[in-house]
Structure 1
Amino acid sequence: MADELGWRSSLADPQQGLGPEVLIPETLEVDRWAPSEEGLSRTTLNNRPTRVDGPGAELVVRRNSDRFRFVGAATRRISRGIDLDEIVLGLCRASVPAFSDAVLVYLCDQIPVGNERPAFPLVLRLRRLEQREGLAGEAETIDWPVLEVSEVRPNSALAEVLRGVRPVFGHSAVAQAAFLELIGPDRTEPTGRHTILAPLRGRRRVIGAAVFLRGARRPAFELDDLLAAAQLATQTALGVDKAVLYGREAYFADELQRIMLPDSLPQPTGVRLASRYLPAAQTARVGGDWYDAIPLPGSRVALVVGDVMGHSMTSAAIMGQIRTTAQTLAGLDLPPQEVLHHLDEQAQRLGSDRMATCLYVVYDPVAHRVTIANAGHPPPILLHIDGRAEVLKVPPGAPIGVGGVGFEAVELDAPAGATLLLYTDGLVESRARDVWTGIEMLRERLAAAATQLASPDQPPPLEAICDDVLAVLAPGDRDDDIALLAARFDGIAPSDVAYWLLEPNDQAPRRARKRARRALSRWGLDNIADVVELLVSEVVTNAVRYAERPVTLRLLRTDILRCEVGDDSPHLPQQRRALETDEGGRGLFLVNRLSRRWGATRLSAGKLVWFEMSLTPE
């Protein structure tokens, strides 16, 4: 009876007789590995018949046919593997018990890739041991300790066998010494023709070894079994080479995509953020999904989610370029529709087929408003305080890269306590449902999660919402990346905001000091009033020196105090170290020393200089 790989057990039975003479035609000139006592040598068969004489010719033909079917089925099984474990498992399952009672697979501890030089000295590590179980359910072939790691010493017997590349029986002195070096000196099983050692040679070099063993109760290996062992070893080695190369490329692709995503989200005033990113399935793991949160002048924040079409290294690279461009445009404080317009131009410069969808949102915690512009992306979902989830009506727009189209922005309320969810289509679209069905499922899931997770006096935790909405995916139906960005709008109450316009004249610093002190007194922050008054005076003085239009001064009280001074001059201030004889140049030095942090941002119509203070003196 044939086993699952089509190799009858009679192949290993030397007691079978020989039948009448049979003529086996060889119609093609092919390469053949001819067996010798020590290994294999290459010969060529000409276009002439091979004559098999003797009474068992029919059995020989059948056994050769079974051997070819076995090798074909085994190589197909090995080649189906993608990673190292699958390939090695394919070799083991194909070999045991059809070809051997046990197999040990050793691979280099560090498998070289491409033109990399192998590690020295070469170290072989046991990757897998597979053996047939006996009638009592216990392994009956290997019952001695097997070495997990073997070092291939120069000029050793193992090094000589590996250099030879060809499979060898274990009966010669060199082969027996190689076996002892590889699998350990404590073996008690017979060697000889009950053992085959097959080096695993990839495209360029030996990357491991496979040991095939048969127990004493089973017939020994024959010469033709070396041919089968060579085929199995070659297929395995080439598969391992490809798996290592694929793994290296996938690693670089994952690293490329990972470094293009933010390591951590900022903590802007008046909003809390959470994000999730899930790569696509193993067969399409590199994509162009991205998300970002970019602090803007005036305590605002830009929320961005996008998806470059396609799954390749090119998609990831284009994503990185578009994301960088979006960050640059956001720093210019352009309106959302203008940002998408410039992203569209950039995508067209990258190529005629470089398209992406993008959703760009600007949240103002003082005005409690969001401004949204869309470029062919799924609409955001707003979770209200009462637990109602709403798909926002945003003009869809055309994807970035189409060219020749305009983008429209809408401004909507963003009440304190509400949560805005931005996502890519991988979360809502799959082989089992269209995108709009998925959006409706996501909306229902978000509302249900809010009901389950919310407490009487607190909205649902943001991180828990992100984890819960990911469950909208059915197991196994995802074939695209997922980027998810959630924003909880806390806002800044009007009572915590003080705002003034100052004419750019010599009286502006005095008025600024007076109004700042009055606001701090109203907030109960007299303990830091002296320092804030000094810093406000310095920053306003710098502003009115170059401004032509009124200067803005705004104070924001949250868990910190933030002061913002804006003017119409595009020149950013530079901190310098003043000399003892200089009468000025110490303003920014004081700001740097006395504030928690400070900065300056160039706007489309000027600049904004800001600094932050702790509510209690440090």
Structure 2
Amino acid sequence: MAEQLGGGDGIREQTPGMRERAALAQRRQHPDPSPPSAPAPPAAPPGDGPDLAEPLTDRLRYLDAATRRIARGMNLDETLWELCRAAVPAFADRAFVHLYAPLPVGDETVADPGVLRLHCSDRSVRRAPGAAPATEPPSTDAPAAAAEVLRPAPGSPLAALLQEGRPVLGDTRRVAAAAAELLGTPQQRPGRRLIIAPLHGRRHVLGSVVVVREPGRADFTADDLIVASQLATHTALGLEKASLYEREASIADALQRTMLPPSLPETPGVRMASRYLPSSRTAQVGGDWYDAIPLPGNRVALVIGDVMGHSMTSAAIMGQLRTSVQTLAGLDLPPDEVLHHLDDQAGRLGSEHTATCLYAMYDPVLHRLLVSNAGHLPPVLLRPDGGVEVLDVPPGAPIGVGNGGFESVETHAPAGATLLLYTDGLVESRDSDVLDGVERLCARLRAAARGSAPPSLEELCDAALGTLGSGGRDDDIALLAARFEGILPETVAYWYMAPRPQTAGQARRLTRRTLGEWGLDALVETTELLVSEVVANAVRFASRPITLRLLHTDVLRCEVGDDSPVVPRMRHAQLSDEGGRGLFLVDQLAERWGATRVSTGKVVWFEQPLPGTPGDR
């Protein structure tokens, strides 16, 4: 936008801020020949250096100091607080800020631009000239308590003034009426004791700022109008920056949480709890993640990882790696093989980011834990007697380095033990290294286990977090706790059978005998039929012995494994077909069923509710 600068100096493009500063400088060179009573020059905002502590006659110097103060604000409250500190009492005796509700930021349009919210008033910042400057912003409760919403009447002076969007002095009846409506006070006589300046952002007007001088102080001048406009413009830019920052922080946090599992699976023989706490020092999304993946045979994979850095790129890589881990876990590979394939996948992604990852596999039947590590922190095992042990797992190289060298370490996981997987945000800070942090974590776990009864998983997670759960975190924290309960050997039956036509009959006899021993006679007839159909299907494709396993936990689970990777699909047989109804029967009679590819072939399983349970048919 081009504007004529005084005295025929020519036309040139000016931004709003440049135009107002140029106009102020022009007025300093060519003062108004008949100004109102000259006001005392505004005092500089305290606390900005020795030069600003002295009375200044140059408004440009005051404006420079005030705008620098406003720029300090990192959020909405701080920005408004700094504006009020800069304006009161150096420039005015009272200051009010009104914001549109909701505050328009970004590219969206304001649905109802007439709704305003009182955000800040002179009560929170006013102090007598010469008093010590306030050092802390007001409590957030004070502005919220004074908040009110008003709706300017269509065609009212206030609505017209806001639509025009230019700073004005209160020296006309129209401005006086608009000020009364804006401040919620009776209308006063027109005068130069009030300025209304719009808060112009990059795309929208965000609201307005009103500065008032009490009787006994010099009136505002045209130069003061330019100063107020500049204060409002810089405040609006700060508010817009703070709003965008808060919105991006909210989006980043939502993105991070959607990439984490919405809930942990309920697997017989193990109970789990988790925590995720974003960093309190950054608004950028991080790369910490955890996961729990059910495996065939009631086993479960426990995974935790951390992509280096805080950025959308880190989050994207984290999502890719987590998806890869889930796919690899479905193949039922050993932990070290999972990490080898994950490292290869990271190399194909072509990213320079590296990640650490720890993959553990728990078998509740054998009470066995297999762990492999790719540069991650070692897991901590809390034993049933209260002892705490940091598991000795070779660290290996981080994912993405390409050196491999991963090893699987097997350890006994007794019933009642709890495994804790965590990221470095839990044990590392600016004031201490990782080793000290791990020692403190172990001490907190020992203290939590000293009671007469073992702590619950939720209590254990809270104890592990300690004071970090209340804020002040340097980094994201991901925490996964798994308590091993195991499955009793007498509730598991396991057989190897040759792939022969007679195998289906053999499987029926073994099933009938086992269910009788478990007192599940009510399930014999249905289970025999389902076992016969699944085993007969396995015999058709298997070239090596097939496996049959029955597990009696909170449900009756049957698993049939063979060496063929061909996963059966249910189809609807025609009336003339002699076969093809096996899986249809399984689907109709079983509560749940599925087929999973594993490294040795596949496993087909189904589950039935126990007699007397809510799911029993």
Range into which the TM-score falls when normalised by the shorter chain: 0.7 to 0.9
Q: How far is the alpha carbon of 1:165 from its aligned partner? A: 3.5
Q: CA 1:41–1:398 in structure 2 vs 1: closer, same or farther (change >3 Å)?
A: closer
Q: How far is the alpha carbon of 1:568 from its aligned partner? A: 1.1
How many aligned residue pairs are there? 571
**Aligned partners of 2:235 and 2:368: how far apart in 1?**
61
* Aligned residue number for residue 566 of structure 1: 561
8 A Cα contact 2:358 2:373, kept in partner: yes
* Aligned residue number for residue 239 of structure 1: 238
* Aligned residue number for residue 12 of structure 1: none
The answer to whether 1:107 aligns with 2:99 is: yes
Q: What residue ranges of structure 2 are gaps of 5+ in the alignment?
A: 1-11, 43-53, 129-144
Q: CA 1:598–1:432 in structure 2 vs 1: closer, same or farther (change >3 Å)?
A: same
State the secondary structure of the residue aligned to 2:107. coil
Structure 2 counterpart of 1:429, one-letter code: E
Q: CA 1:464–1:474 in structure 2 vs 1: closer, same or farther (change >3 Å)?
A: closer
State the secondary structure of the residue aligned to 2:122. strand
* Aligned residue number for residue 294 of structure 2: 295
The answer to whether 1:268 aligns with 2:260 is: no
Q: How far is the alpha carbon of 1:166 from its aligned partner? A: 3.1
**Aligned partners of 1:540 and 1:297: how far apart in 2?**
17
Deviations 1:18-37 (A, max 9, x none): xxxxxxxxxxx998999xxx
8 A Cα contact 1:40 1:167, kept in partner: no
For residues 400-419 of structure 1, what are the structure 2 equivalents within 5 Å? 400-419=399-418
State the secondary structure of the residue aligned to 1:112. coil
Deviations 1:234-266 (A, max 9, x none): 111001111122122222211211110011000
Deviations 1:479-536 (A, max 9, x none): 1000000000011111111001111111111111111111111111112221111111
Q: CA 1:147–1:431 in structure 2 vs 1: closer, same or farther (change >3 Å)?
A: closer
Q: How far is the alpha carbon of 1:175 from its aligned partner? A: 1.2
8 A Cα contact 1:445 1:472, kept in partner: no
Q: How far is the alpha carbon of 1:446 from its aligned partner? A: 0.8
**Of 570, 577, 592, the match for 2:572:** 577
* Aligned residue number for residue 285 of structure 2: 286
8 A Cα contact 2:515 2:524, kept in partner: yes
* Aligned residue number for residue 444 of structure 2: 445
**Of 83, 89, 99, the match for 1:91:** 83
**Aligned partners of 2:609 and 2:529: how far apart in 1?**
15
* Aligned residue number for residue 587 of structure 1: 582
Deviations 1:313-350 (A, max 9, x none): 11111111111111111111111111111211222223
**Aligned partners of 1:32 and 1:326: how far apart in 2?**
53
**Of 105, 120, 124, the match for 2:116:** 124
Q: Percent identity?
A: 58
TM-score normalised over the length of structure 2: 0.86
TM-score normalised over the length of structure 1: 0.85
For residues 77-226 of structure 1, what are the structure 2 equivalents within 5 Å? 77-131=69-123, 148-151=148-151, 156-184=156-184, 186-187=185-186, 191-226=190-225
State the secondary structure of the residue aligned to 2:580. coil
Q: How far is the alpha carbon of 1:49 from its aligned partner? A: 6.8
Q: How far is the alpha carbon of 1:223 from its aligned partner? A: 3.0
Q: How far is the alpha carbon of 1:87 from its aligned partner? A: 1.4
* Aligned residue number for residue 322 of structure 2: 323
8 A Cα contact 1:598 1:610, kept in partner: yes
**Aligned partners of 2:121 and 2:38: how far apart in 1?**
37
**Aligned partners of 1:379 and 1:438: how far apart in 2?**
12
**Aligned partners of 1:611 and 1:170: how far apart in 2?**
80
Q: CA 1:60–1:607 in structure 2 vs 1: closer, same or farther (change >3 Å)?
A: closer
**Aligned partners of 2:188 and 2:389: how far apart in 1?**
72
State the secondary structure of the residue aligned to 1:246. helix
**Aligned partners of 1:440 and 1:80: how far apart in 2?**
39
* Aligned residue number for residue 478 of structure 2: 483
The answer to whether 1:604 aligns with 2:603 is: no
Q: CA 1:49–1:351 in structure 2 vs 1: closer, same or farther (change >3 Å)?
A: same
**Aligned partners of 1:64 and 1:50: how far apart in 2?**
19
Structure 2 counterpart of 1:174, one-letter code: R
Q: How far is the alpha carbon of 1:573 from its aligned partner? A: 1.3
Structure 1 counterpart of 2:299, one-letter code: R
State the secondary structure of the residue aligned to 1:262. coil
564-573 vs 101-110, which moves further: 101-110
Q: How far is the alpha carbon of 1:96 from its aligned partner? A: 2.8
State the secondary structure of the residue aligned to 2:115. strand
* Aligned residue number for residue 520 of structure 2: 525
Q: How far is the alpha carbon of 1:90 from its aligned partner? A: 2.1
Structure 2 counterpart of 1:89, one-letter code: W
Q: How far is the alpha carbon of 1:125 from its aligned partner? A: 2.2
Structure 2 counterpart of 1:158, one-letter code: L
State the secondary structure of the residue aligned to 2:120. strand
* Aligned residue number for residue 435 of structure 1: 434
Q: CA 1:440–1:280 in structure 2 vs 1: closer, same or farther (change >3 Å)?
A: same
8 A Cα contact 2:547 2:561, kept in partner: yes
* Aligned residue number for residue 536 of structure 1: 531
Q: CA 1:489–1:412 in structure 2 vs 1: closer, same or farther (change >3 Å)?
A: same
**Aligned partners of 1:480 and 1:313: how far apart in 2?**
16
Deviations 1:269-305 (A, max 9, x none): 2100000000012435421000000011111111000
State the secondary structure of the residue aligned to 1:451. coil
Q: How far is the alpha carbon of 1:375 from its aligned partner? A: 0.5
Structure 1 counterpart of 2:250, one-letter code: Y
Q: What residue ranges of structure 1 are gaps of 5+ in the alignment?
A: 1-28, 136-144
Q: How far is the alpha carbon of 1:154 from its aligned partner? A: 6.1
Q: CA 1:583–1:318 in structure 2 vs 1: closer, same or farther (change >3 Å)?
A: same
Q: CA 1:41–1:268 in structure 2 vs 1: closer, same or farther (change >3 Å)?
A: closer
**Of 500, 505, 511, the match for 1:510:** 505
**Aligned partners of 2:483 and 2:147: how far apart in 1?**
57
- Report the aligned-residue RMSD: 3.1
75-84 vs 557-566, which moves further: 75-84
State the secondary structure of the residue aligned to 1:192. coil
8 A Cα contact 1:30 1:45, kept in partner: no
**Aligned partners of 1:83 and 1:146: how far apart in 2?**
19
8 A Cα contact 2:94 2:126, kept in partner: no
**Aligned partners of 2:26 and 2:235: how far apart in 1?**
29
Structure 2 counterpart of 1:428, one-letter code: V
Q: How far is the alpha carbon of 1:380 from its aligned partner? A: 0.2
State the secondary structure of the residue aligned to 2:449. helix
Q: CA 1:146–1:270 in structure 2 vs 1: closer, same or farther (change >3 Å)?
A: closer
Q: CA 1:31–1:51 in structure 2 vs 1: closer, same or farther (change >3 Å)?
A: farther
State the secondary structure of the residue aligned to 2:444. helix
**Aligned partners of 1:593 and 1:390: how far apart in 2?**
48
8 A Cα contact 2:39 2:219, kept in partner: no
State the secondary structure of the residue aligned to 2:567. coil
The answer to whether 1:309 aligns with 2:285 is: no
Q: How far is the alpha carbon of 1:217 from its aligned partner? A: 5.0
State the secondary structure of the residue aligned to 1:577. coil
8 A Cα contact 2:284 2:312, kept in partner: no
Q: CA 1:60–1:498 in structure 2 vs 1: closer, same or farther (change >3 Å)?
A: closer
**Aligned partners of 1:522 and 1:42: how far apart in 2?**
96
State the secondary structure of the residue aligned to 1:361. strand
**Of 533, 536, 551, the match for 2:546:** 551
